[in-house]
Amino acid sequence: MEKLAKFAALGLSESTMNALKKKGFEEPTPIQEKIIPLFMGGDLDIVGQAQTGTGKTAAFGIPIIEKIPEKSKTVQAIILTPTRELAIQISEELNSLKGDKNLHIIPIYGGQSMSRQLQLLKSGVDIVVGTPGRVIDHINRKSLVLDKISYFVLDEADEMLNMGFVEDVKEILNATGPNKRMLFFSATMPKPILGIAKKHMRNYEFVAVDKEEVTTELTEQIYFEVGENNKFEALCRIIDMEEEFYGLVFCRTKNDTSQIAQKLGDRGYAADALNGDMTQQERERILRKFRKQKLSILVATDVAARGIDIMDLTHVINYSIPQDPESYVHRIGRTGRAGKQGTAITFVTHKEYRRLTYIKKTSNSSMKKGQLPGIEDVINARKGRVKTELESIMDEGEYGDFLTMSETLLGEYPPEEILAALLKYTFKDTFDKSSYSEINSNSYVDRKGTARLFVAMGKADDMTPQKLCDFIKQEAGEGDLNTKDIEIFPHFSFVTVPFAQAEVLLEIFKNKRRGKKPFVEIAQKRNGGDNKRREGGRGEGRGEGRGEGRGDNRREGRGYSKREGRGDNKPRGKFGK
């Protein structure tokens, strides 16, 4: 427990300490070091200012888990988040922090089965992590009662404001009882958020940590567009292109880590998996081998990789795209350290492209699109390494009995044939193109289809086609935005853009609203394919009720309407074009 001495000094239980050890935590982050003792040792409300990637979840999660009793049969804590991804992430993190304490922790969000959520809530839940729309749904159904909660946490408060959820937060607060402690976390502290704090908190303490750079100049950040079924082949190509690959490969599930590590091993790579199903002894054994570079590839989940601190990693591969910017920051921070260059690579499917743009923007990432190496590139790289290794052996000049064998063969065959036979014997199918799998190019991000967008500005806003183009370019930073078929109506407009640019625009504008309406969204097709909304009917078909299509979930899972000029939404075209 020596590495956990600073956590132990905070007065945490044995159950929590064991959970931290299993997760690989070594010492608290600055926000954890400030929040945990303040929460554990007093009764003040807390407003914490900390950027993404600082360990906020554990900062509020650890003391809440420490303080609430088991089997209370009522909800004791509510944690509000702006997105479903964050709700899932926080719930998973809290479940991994609770140790052997008998607590029931669940996420609730729009798009998830309502009947399943009702069943879980009815069975008894201690901590609920939810998005505002779905939480209000359950409050109205009386399936979620918050009048006896002890803790109210508002995470990513500034994002709540940007996404138009402030009124929802106030509504949820009004459903809670007076005897609760409140914790607000936000990267910035806009006046509306501070206003809520002053109105609803009794006495609160403001805690801030110094802003740090979330990415390093020494880390090259690249993303590759690749279909789900082609990820493993893409991973192998990236490894094969490197002279010395020594890195972490991040997956979403424990099962994925085991399967990928097994497949890598079958191909001859020195790889192993690290996941939460392992005992501490197994974990330490694998980490020892990895630190000594007896393993060159470690396949892990986010939770299992906590606390891994190895200075010489050449690569971090996001085999599965991170759930949020915080996870991305944590992952890539493990390379490009101690003055050495590192590379962070992210695989993204066409369905995940919008999340990628959100991660890039929020983490201030310099991530750039890359082109996967072809079969010829991989073979040439391998041939180059063989040549280098042979030259190194010849430079050493120590051949032993092999020199005698060589002299015998040279007396019988031409030297070029001997060498060719030896290379074929040694490397077999390594240089044979037919032994490599082609990477299917039909699941990349669609760059040929187009999407019709609805924009909540029109003639009443003095909008013209040119002004609309200029506005979108300025807001999105898309200098070469390709717009067409612009229509301007009194209170809204339509514009058609390439599908990939639509993905980016939807992500950039997802936090911008006009009232409670999205500022930009995919235009709905109505009346036999007519996607023009008429005045007075703009809300029709937009999921504005407090149901599955609530604001925190309005675009997620709904998909796009059919591409312009094409009756399906399957991607087309050649990869990378």
Least confidently predicted of 33-42, 86-95, 113-122, 392-401: 392-401
In angstroms, rounded to a whole number, what is the distance separating the alpha carbons of residues 63 and 383?
A: 56
Please tell me the predicted confidence (pLDDT) of residue 19. Answer: 87
In angstroms, rounded to a whole number, what is the distance separating the alpha carbons of residues 563 and 559?
A: 11
SS3 533: coil
Answer yes or no: are the C-beta atoms of 321 and 198 closer than 8 Å.
Answer: no
In angstroms, rounded to a whole number, what is the distance separating the alpha carbons of residues 250 and 255?
A: 12
Q: Is residue 396 part of a domain?
A: yes
Q: Which long-range contacts (CB under 8 A, 24 or more apart) does 399-402 make?
A: none
Do 423 and 468 belong together in one domain? Answer: no
Please give the C-alpha separations between residue 386 and each of 240, 341, 391, 398, 426, in angstroms, as whole numbers: 12, 24, 9, 18, 11
Please tell me the predicted confidence (pLDDT) of residue 46. Answer: 92
Do 159 and 92 belong together in one domain? Answer: yes
In this prediction, residues 389-401 reach a mean pLDDT of: 80
Domain boundary among 181, 208, 235: 208
E-only strand ranges, 203-360 = 204-208, 219-225, 247-250, 271-274, 297-300, 315-318, 342-348
How far the first Cα of the chain sits from its last, in Å, is: 53
Q: Is the pLDDT of residue 62 over 80?
A: yes
The CATH number linked to 482 is 3.30.70.330
Do 288 and 320 belong together in one domain? Answer: yes
In this prediction, residues 404-432 reach a mean pLDDT of: 79
Q: Is residue 577 part of a domain?
A: no
> Highest mean pLDDT: which of 129-138, 238-247, 442-451?
129-138
Q: Is the pLDDT of residue 20 over 80?
A: yes
Q: Report residue 129: phi and psi, to 5°.
A: -115, 115
Domain boundary among 142, 173, 208: 208
In angstroms, rounded to a whole number, what is the distance separating the alpha carbons of residues 190 and 80?
A: 18
Q: Is the pLDDT of residue 206 over 80?
A: yes
CA dihedral for 419, 425, 430, 432, sign (positive or negative): positive
In angstroms, rounded to a whole number, what is the distance separating the alpha carbons of residues 120 and 144?
A: 11
In angstroms, rounded to a whole number, what is the distance separating the alpha carbons of residues 33 and 46?
A: 14
Q: Which of 37, 34, 67, 30 is nearest to 51 (CA)?
A: 30
Q: Is residue 160 part of a domain?
A: yes
Do 43 and 67 belong together in one domain? Answer: yes
Domain boundary among 208, 235, 257: 208
Do 298 and 368 belong together in one domain? Answer: yes
Do 178 and 269 belong together in one domain? Answer: no
Q: Which residue has the higher pLDDT, 54 or 21?
A: 21
Q: Is residue 326 part of a domain?
A: yes
Do 242 and 366 belong together in one domain? Answer: yes
Mean pLDDT in the chain? 78
Strand 493-498 versus strand 484-488 pairing type: antiparallel
Q: What residues contact 470, with CB distance under 8 A and at least 6 apart?
A: none
Given pLDDT bands bounded at 50, 70 and 90, which one contains residue 3? low
Q: Is the pLDDT of residue 532 over 90?
A: no
> Highest mean pLDDT: which of 1-10, 54-63, 145-154?
145-154
Q: Is the pLDDT of residue 271 over 70?
A: yes
Do 195 and 227 belong together in one domain? Answer: no
Global model pTM greater than 0.75: no
SS3 33: helix
The CATH number linked to 201 is 3.40.50.300
Please tell me the predicted confidence (pLDDT) of residue 295. Answer: 93
Please tell me the predicted confidence (pLDDT) of residue 497. Answer: 82
Q: Which residue has the higher pLDDT, 563 or 427?
A: 427
Q: Is residue 558 part of a domain?
A: no
In the chain, DSSP finds a helix count (H) and a strand count (E) of: 20, 20
Measured in whole angstroms, the distance separating CA 338 from the mean position of its chain's CA atoms is 25
Q: Is residue 370 part of a domain?
A: yes
In this prediction, residues 326-343 reach a mean pLDDT of: 76
Q: Is 440 left (phi over 0), alpha (psi -120 to 50) or beta?
A: beta
Query: For the chain, what is the domain count?
Result: 4
Helices (H), 477-558: 499-508
Do 119 and 253 belong together in one domain? Answer: no
Q: Report residue 343: phi and psi, to 5°.
A: -130, 130
Q: Is residue 443 part of a domain?
A: no
Q: What is the pLDDT of residues 545-556, one digit of tens each?
A: 333 333 343 333
Do 391 and 472 belong together in one domain? Answer: no
Q: What is the pLDDT of residues 466-518, one digit of tens each?
A: 888 887 776 665 556 677 788 999 888 998 887 767 777 777 777 677 776 78
Do 369 and 237 belong together in one domain? Answer: yes
Q: Is residue 362 part of a domain?
A: yes
Do 405 and 263 belong together in one domain? Answer: no
Structural domain including 39 reads 2-208
Q: What percent of the chain has pLDDT over 70?
A: 80
Q: Is the pLDDT of residue 559 over 60?
A: no
